[in-house]
Structure 1
Amino acid sequence: MGQDSPAADAPDSEDDATERVTTTKRTFLQGTGVALGASVVPVGASSAFEGTAITTDSNAVAEAAGGMVSSVHQQATEAGIGVLEDGGNAIDAAVAVQFALNVVQPHSSGIGGGGFMLVYSATEDEIIAIDNRERAPLGAQPDMFLDNQGEEVPFLARHTNGKAVGVPGTLKAADVAVKRFGRKELSELIQPAIDLAAPDGRTVTVDEFLAGSIADNVEDGALTSTAQEVFAPGGDPLEAGDELVQPDLADTLRTIRDEGIGPFYRGEIAADIAETVQGAARYRQTGGNMTVDDLGRYNVNITRPTYVTYEGAAHDVTVRTMRSPTSGGYVIAQILSLLEPFDLAQYDRRSFDVYHRIIEAFQLAFADRNEYLGDEEFVDIPWQGMLDDDYVDSRRQVIDPEKATDATREPGDPFEYQPGGQYYTSARDVERAQHTSNASGARRGERNEPHANSSVTPPGQTTHFTTADAEGNMVSWTSTIEQLFGSGIMVPGRGFMLNNELTDFDSHPGGPNEVQPEKRPLSSTSPTIVTRDGDPFLTVGSPGGWSIIHTVSQIVLNVAEFGMDIDEAVEEPRVYSATGTWVQAEGGVPADVVDELNAAGHDVSIVDTIGNVQSILVKDDGGYVGVADQRRDGAAGSPS
């Protein structure tokens, strides 16, 4: 195993545990090279084909040489394909997909949120990371999610509060990516989204997932009145099959098209965002303190991804994904490092031996994640110690091959293996470290549990999409506003939802993931580009909060260790476990194996789905295979 320092090149600057999905058949509009099952179906964005449907229960798979797009929504995929057909590259296509998703999946991502993006530049032969994670405003305080008695504000209350809104980064990432790597102007790439949002544009039909999300949020009272006017006009939630029209969003996108991103970060849109978050009298009293200055100060970070090697029975690969403030890269690396010596390919993929070892590796890695990780700009995180070969070997010895143990749920001490030892950057850090030291077994701070494992907190939302072009450029981008519809707050007159990403901070002060001004909350987002023999081999990513890490890890294992084709790797049933004895397993896990896992001390529950992968594999001849996970609606397609 090996890993690289995630040192920054130069500053240019979750989402929850388990996806809620529908079990209906998947319908795709005909139009540009979308392949379903094993065959290629000629599908295109031309309006002449609209209304003709193809129905399938299998993964959406496309195969082509001239480029590829995979996203969670057919119309977003079509937007990316259209850009490729018009001479744009993979970066241009990805930006067009992101804007389109803001319109067709407004509950999942958009310009009111942020995320993480990996770009493989064929010209530079390098993978670059664009961190567009939201930051806390300057007025944020470590105890801002506690009430006057020092008790944690219930999640349903704090995630719909203006204090939950982080400074958005998605639009800045789109602008920087296009200027750095693209061929097109941002104004061209935003136009397909405008066409989808405008009342006289192409029809956007509410699907069952969006309809269910609307109904749940209306019932919970999570949406502001402004948002309800769009998604529940007259008080009646839009239902599957209804038309979704967003004129305010169309106007906002036109402003960005005509004037660039300036109005959003320093101008009239920024003023509206700040006023809304602060809770002006005519809006819901949201209680936030974001200012126009906070928006103007925001910039993305351009960095190098972290990486880890995995020598599998089928492929030797290098897995490259995001560094802090997401935990994804480090935790995936530790999971794979723990599992590699087990030679899992000697067992049946759906055996107790495989699932048990995977689950125990998840437990070990998450014990360290929740103890030590946070935004590395503010916290000394022992990522090198976590991935040190000797440390990983010692952690692997904790795993009992026959049964679950409490030992796998306790963190180790990676600082003993960290080069240079632990350091602190301020007197306040020293005081906090002395107060929260785990030398006697005390935990560093009270950590948030994954929302989906609480009976009172709703599931979160994110989206992942990926693109490739004929020149070999590739993008793997995970974008989010956190919960379904984020904070529930729509900016009046602007038509977009604001995130609630700051709830990814720990509510209680004292730990490495406590709230601080301008700090980025810890994430699990893991857009990934896997290389083989130094060349791009596979992109992969998923929504799902903590389970993103588990989903990406299992896809890599399925391909590199078990030699599966990418569509098989995506379809293979998944398991998920992070803290405590609980384990979630998809229905495809054999019933007798579930019984064995329970007998071994795992508390297994069956869930509909875990994660929702979008992936592109590079074939030996340079062509692409695109896969859209059918745990939710999705489409993979290529230029005609």
Structure 2
Amino acid sequence: MQDNFSTTQLVTKPGVQSEHGVVASQHIGAARVGASILADGGNAVDAAIATSLALGVLEPWMSGLAAGGCMMVWHAKTQRCQVVNFGMRAPESLNPADYPLSGKGVASDLFPWQHVVDDRNVMGATAVAVPGLVAGLGLAHASFATKHWADLVTPAVNLARQGMLTDWYSALMTGANAKSLANDPDTAHYFLDEGKWPIVSGWTAVEQRRLDQSVLANTLAILRDDGPEAFYKGRIARELAKDIQAKGGCLSESDLASYQAEIVEPTLWSDPWGTLYAAPTLTGGPTLVRAMSLLSDQVFNGNRPDAATYVNIANALTQSFSERLTSMGDHESADAPGCTTHFSVVDREGNICSVTQTLLSIFGSRVTSPSTGLLLNNGIMWFDPEPGKPNSLAPGKRCLTNYSPVIGTTVDGKQFGVGASGGRKILGAVMQLSLFLMRHGMTLSEAFHQPRIDISGGKQILADLTLPDEVINELRAVMPTNRARRHVYPYAYACPAGVMHNHAMNSGCTEIYSPWGDAVAADHS
């Protein structure tokens, strides 16, 4: 493999420890919001709600109020795990006939479905599914939180009033997608300078520029004052449905009003080394549990994975993905990163939240609701536009997703919450991190620095450049293997975030190459 990058540069990111709780997030600003809630006496769910809403402001192309996802909740006192499921679904008035196949091969975004005329399932208001994030947060708040709802929304309101600070990384993300962002005037106004190029601070790092998120701030203020119901039955719902329909979509006020999040039981895997609780049904959880079960009889030697370990991981992922693609209808491109964010929270009592939320593609549908300031999802792309398939497009149907947050327990009494962003790459990353923690007894920081491989149902293995030649040679006996670096953009691997409760001490860590991601400890005062 050849590229332009230094071979001597070493990147590390120490884990954070605290007796008072830790938030690990893909944006340090959101982690600080969650940590402040913990420091003020809030529990893990309180901090998760505040972190989630802050991420929609600080990482708007990854998630937001128009997103979907799920939250794993570990109750330390009862040693029980529950799942708050708030995945997206198709609008009831959606007509599959409005998404005719063009006959021009496959689509160019995340999924290699047959191409639809005008990319109606990929971009624009016709790609918008019913979002579930606010309903999920509202249900989590009603069921598990201790702080007032308004106190958890206020930090996001304040961040939006200030506006997201732009830098080289935000310029990279917007610049790489500027062509598609320019197609919607409201999105171009939101993210692009004069509708053409990224909004970025001065190159001397003295001049700071921020996105104008004042409309989003107004929406968050309504959500703060009127509660989560306002998103689905109040002022926000009316404006959101009006904007989507004005731009050609079919999502209606009745779609929003009828949406309900739910609390469900997790998918469970257990062996003598510990227990893993994964998201159920239409997520990556069942496939993750299947892959873990294929490794139950394998021997894991030593404190670090060896060549045999990586081979076993590759074989388990290959088989489990083959079964998934056949039975569940998920045919995502293994090379596509997705537009997702993950964060994990642990509080002083050992309660844990592992939360993944997503707009699906990077910048979702690339369409912005001008009345609400929300960048909209493109959840309709999760469905296969060809009829008669397990995951074919249909009105009111739940979306099949790839996110896979987990809660795990180890044989020596530790608990952890881990998840990742990265489309189909999520599953393998979460699986390997769980194995590193459960089978090899690593600390969280050690696990996050350990090289990983990626095999996402394709015909090759991607292996970290730092893995020994012995490991690479063994992997090549399984299938073609290429070496790929962990770096900032594009990600060859998933971008994880995790926390661990080790008796009286908590820890947190994020992907070492993520420039914004970090773990923040709650104030010890």
For Structure 1 versus Structure 2, the TM-score category normalised by the shorter chain is 0.7 to 0.9
| Residue of 28, 41, 47 corresponding to 1:87 | 41
Aligned to 2:340: 462
Equivalent residue number for residue 253 of structure 1: 220
Counterpart Cα distance in 2 of 1:143 and 1:602? 40
Residue equivalent to 1:160:
123
Give the letter for the 2:193 counterpart: P
Q: 1:546-570: per-residue Cα shift (whole Å, max 9, x none)?
A: 1111001000111222222211111
Q: Which amino acid aligns with 1:213?
A: M
Task: Say if 2:143 is the partner of 1:180.
Answer: yes
For 1:472 and 1:482, locate their aligned partners in 2 and report how far apart those are by CA, in whole Å: 31
Count of aligned pairs: 494
For residue 223 of structure 1, report the CA deviation from its aligned partner. Answer: 5.3
- What code does the residue aligned with 2:398 have? R
Q: What residue number does 1:132 align with?
A: 86
1:599 CA drift (Å): 5.4
1:301 to 259, 262, 282: 262
Tell me how far apart the structure 1 counterparts of residues 371 and 402 of structure 2 sit (CA, whole Å).
32
Equivalence map 1:532-551=2 (5 Å): 532=410, 537-551=415-429
**Whole-Å separation in 2 of the counterparts to 1:209 and 1:73:** 12
Where structure 1 has 5 or more consecutive residues not aligned to the other structure, the ranges are 1-22, 25-55, 374-446
Amino acid at match of 1:98: S
Question: Which residue of 565, 569, 577 maps to 2:443?
Answer: 565
Identify the match of residue 579 of structure 1 among 457, 474, 478: 457
Q: Which residue of 2 aligns with 1:638?
A: 521
SS at match of 1:68: strand
Distance 2:392 2:359 in 1: 20
* Pairwise CA distance, 1:132: 0.3
For residues 251-305 of structure 1, the C-alpha deviation after alignment (integer angstroms, 9 at most, x for no partner) is: 1111111112233212332122223323x2xx4xxx4211110000001011111
Contact 1:143–1:507 at 8 Å: present in 2 too? no
CA distance, structure 2, for counterparts of residue 210 and residue 348 of structure 1: 36
Aligned-partner SS, 1:173: helix
Superposition pairs of residues 583-622 of structure 1, within 5 angstroms:
583-591=461-469, 593-598=471-476, 600-604=478-482, 606-608=484-486, 609-620=492-503, 622=504
Distance 1:79-1:513 versus aligned 2 partners, 3 A rule: same
Note if contact 2:416-2:499 (Cα within 8 Å) is conserved in structure 1. Answer: yes
- 1:577–1:473 Cα change, 3 Å: same
Please state if 1:345 is matched with 2:301. Answer: yes
What corresponds to 1:354 in structure 2?
309
Q: Tell me which residue corresponds to 1:369.
A: 324
| Secondary structure at the counterpart of residue 519 of structure 1 | coil
Partner of 1:505: 383
State the secondary structure of the residue aligned to 2:297.
helix
Unaligned 5+ residue runs, structure 2? 105-113, 202-207, 487-491
Tell me: CA distance 1:348–1:71, structure 2 relative to 1, closer, same or farther (3 Å).
closer
Matched, 1:211 2:171: yes
User: Which residue is 2:153 aligned to?
Assistant: 190
Structure 1 residue 144 displacement after superposition: 4.8
> What letter matches 1:356 in structure 2?
V
Contact 1:142 1:508 in 2 (8 A): no
2:464–2:484 CA contact under 8 A, matched in 1: yes
Instruction: Confirm or deny that 1:472 pairs with 2:350.
Output: yes
Q: Residue 413 of structure 2 contacts residue 502 of structure 2 at CA under 8 Å; is this kept in 1?
A: no
Counterpart of 1:624 in structure 2 is: 506
1:99 is aligned to 2:59 = no
Give the percent of matched residue pairs that are identical in Structure 1 and Structure 2: 30
Note if contact 2:497-2:510 (Cα within 8 Å) is conserved in structure 1: yes
1:63-462 equivalences under 5 Å are 63-142=17-96, 144-147=98-101, 152-153=115-116, 158-198=121-161, 201=162, 204-221=164-181, 224-235=184-195, 236-239=197-200, 242-278=209-245, 280=246, 283=247, 287-311=248-272, 316-326=273-283, 328-345=284-301, 349-351=305-307, 353-373=308-328, 447=329, 449-451=331-333, 453=335, 459-462=337-340
Shift of residue 147, structure 1, vs aligned partner: 2.8
Deviation at 1:535, TM superposition (A): 6.0
Cα 1:275–1:147 change in 2 (3 A) is: farther
Amino acid at match of 1:639: A
Q: Which letter does structure 2 place at the counterpart of 1:132? A: F
Distance in 2 of aligned mates of 1:448 and 1:321: 18
1:149/1:276 Cα in 2 relative to 1: closer, same or farther (>3 Å)?
farther
2:483 is the alignment partner of 1:523: no
1:175 is displaced (CA, Å) by 1.2
Task: Tell me if structure 2 keeps the 8 A contact 1:96–1:193.
Answer: yes
Flag the 1:473–1:174 CA change in 2: closer, same or farther, 3 A. Answer: same
Q: Is the 8 A contact 1:68 1:81 kept in 2?
A: yes
Change (3 A) 1:67 1:599: closer
In the aligned structure 1, how far is the partner of 2:31 from the partner of 2:45? 14
SS of equivalent to 2:494: coil
**Is the 1:121–1:181 contact (alpha carbons within 8 Å) kept by the matching residues of 2?**
no
Amino acid corresponding to residue 32 of structure 2 in structure 1:
E
**Contact 1:515–1:521 at 8 Å: present in 2 too?**
no
Helix, strand or coil at the partner of 2:493: coil
Cα 1:304–1:207 change in 2 (3 A) is farther
Moved more, 118-127 or 608-617: 118-127
Provide the rounded CA distance (Å) in 1 between the counterparts of 2:293 and 2:477: 27
Whole-angstrom distance in 1 between the partners of 2:11 and 2:257: 46
Q: Distance in 2 between matches of 1:523 and 1:510?
A: 19
Amino acid in structure 2 at the alignment position of 1:481: L
Deviation readout 1:405-464 (Å, 9 max, x if unpaired):
xxxxxxxxxxxxxxxxxxxxxxxxxxxxxxxxxxxxxxxxxx5642353xxxx6421111
Q: In the alignment, is the contact (CA less than 8 A) between 1:80 and 1:97 conserved in 2?
A: yes
Are the structure 2 counterparts of residues 493 and 141 from structure 1 closer, same or farther at C-alpha, using a change threshold of 3 Å?
closer
RMSD between aligned residues: 2.5
**Which residue of structure 2 lines up, in the alignment, with residue 45 of structure 1?**
none
Instruction: State the Cα distance separating 1:221 from its structure 2 match.
Output: 4.3
SS state at 2:421 partner: coil
Deviation, 1:605, is: 5.0
Instruction: State the TM-score, normalizing by the size of structure 1.
Output: 0.73
1:207 to 1:589, Cα distance in 2 relative to 1, 3 A: farther
What letter corresponds to residue 93 of structure 2 in structure 1?
G
| Matched letter for residue 305 of structure 1 | P
C-alpha deviation, 1:91, in angstroms: 0.7
For 1:596 and 1:155, how far apart are their aligned partners in 2? 45
| Aligned residue type for 2:74 | Y
Matched-pair contact (CA < 8 Å) for 1:331–1:369: yes
Contact 1:60 1:629 in 2 (8 A): no
Instruction: Report if the CA contact (8 A) 2:341-2:421 is conserved.
Output: yes
Post-superposition offset of 1:148 = 6.3
Structure 1 residue aligned with 2:368, among 490, 494, 500? 490
> If the length of structure 2 is used for normalisation, what is the TM-score?
0.88
